[in-house]
Amino acid sequence: MSTKQCFNPYMGAHEYVPDGEPHVFGDRVYVYGSHDRFNGATFCINDYICWSAPVTDLKDWRYEGVIYKKSQDPANANGRMVLYAPDVTQGPDGRYYLYYVMDKINIVSVAVCDTPAGKYEFYGYVHYEDGIKLGDKEWDEPQFDPAVITEGETTYMYTGFCGRGDKSRSGSQCTVLGPDMLTITKAPVIVVPGSCYSEGTGFEGHAFFEASSIRKKGDTYYFVYSSEVMHELAYATSKSPDKDFVYGGVIVSNADLGISSYKNADKPTAYGANNHGGFELINGKYYIFYHRHTNGHWFSRQGCAEEMTFNADGSIPQVTMTSCGLNGEPLNDYDEYSAHIACNMFSDKKEIYVGGGQPHVTQDGADGDDDSDVYIENINEGYTIGFKYFNLKSVKGMYTITCGYCHGHFEVRTSIDGPVLGTIPSDSANFWEKNEARFDIPDGVSAIYLTWTGGSCPRFKAFGFIH
């Protein structure tokens, strides 16, 4: 009998919320992010929405609706600017403050709400005591992707974007705000350097690019950010919120680079690009939230999450991407699974970044069409689609659901370099058709890798196990 499960992407197949910042308020965890449009022409086209789940059941995600429209900002009444990655903090007055930056101006806007996922209203712009907005003074660096943490009546805000070779951008800036959540009480200081200023520091090769995120565990501040290589979320630590940060390592890569548990560390097993997210303590466990890329380009991103741990010295081991994510256990072997939960797509080529006709998740229908089919396309000869992990017991075969002009089969393995356990045929079909094959798969917790061999390429919608 089937029981409820949770997969990556955890908001479902048709939701496109990257840049996820999770926060526990009361007995629920809320995820705030930007909002991509399926097949959009650029990043973050849609209005802010929110999803939440009980802290005791991360399989039970609920759509909270639109919490803030881009046209609510007085500087964007016509809605022509997009809302980049936001963050939310609870102020000293108990209300919830949403910080964000739009794409055409370099200032930080703030909205406020009495509840974590209610209808936020525009509140004001972050400004100096003389009223000049942060970002408007001659020496200010452009503001981007704010992250916020409030302690007592003080809020620390981290912002910045540092493209390679741009010496006008120094790194991530920490700005201190007073109890009104708008007025600067301490001007910005650089806490993590960008690539132009990382030489001789511990950040070389992993310098700040974008996507500031801030948390505190015990007496230590953890600054999470997207590094100059873009596909990874790295972190730095300090005992102070605005100085002395030391590079710590990588938490997650959306290309799985650096992971050596099931492959060579330098082999990418997904097509990555920019990354953004943060971690949160939820019901006694820590989880890192990040995003992946779909539709073969950078502008249709989806939120994913993995459980993470801390070593005794406070360091964070890098986590691997999975299909089961927040499920809390491997997936069962009796449900049918959508192909969109694939956590790995790769070939023998060393392709790190999205683009170039690789396999990718896509959907029929327009943005917001929850009834449209979701599938993987562009599965050419030699490409592998991977899913992990499953709890397999007495499996006697597998089936796939495919369509399209093709003639060949999927080779089935439980490890990247392992033996072929069986092959599942797939021939040209105008509509979705089920193809199955009988073979034994060893019992135990395992990944499943399907490698396409044959002419042309199928569209791959779903799969399941035979007992």
- pLDDT of 235 > 90? The answer is yes
Q: Walk me through the domains of the chain, giving residue ranges and CATH numbers.
A: 21-327 (2.115.10.20), 337-466 (2.60.120.260)
Task: For residue 41, count CB atoms less than 10 angstroms from its CB and return exposed for 0-12, middle for 13-18, buried for 19 or more.
Answer: exposed
Instruction: Please name which of 232, 310, 317, 316 lies closest in space to residue 268, comparing C-alpha atoms.
Output: 232
Whether 395 contacts 441, CB under 8 Å: yes
Amino acid at 422: G
Instruction: State pLDDT tens for residues 283-309.
Output: 999 999 999 999 999 999 999 999 999
pLDDT of 2 reads 58
Rounded Cα gap, residues 166 and 164, in angstroms: 6
Rounded Cα gap, residues 168 and 192, in angstroms: 15
Rounded Cα gap, residues 20 and 30, in angstroms: 10
Instruction: State pLDDT tens for residues 243-286.
Output: 999 999 999 999 999 999 999 999 999 999 999 999 999 999 99
Which residues belong to the active site? 19, 210
Instruction: State pLDDT tens for residues 178-230.
Output: 999 999 999 999 999 999 999 999 999 999 999 999 999 999 999 999 999 99
Instruction: State pLDDT tens for residues 93-146.
Output: 999 999 999 999 999 999 999 999 999 999 999 999 999 999 999 999 999 999
Backbone φ and ψ for 70, nearest 5 degrees, come out as -60, -30
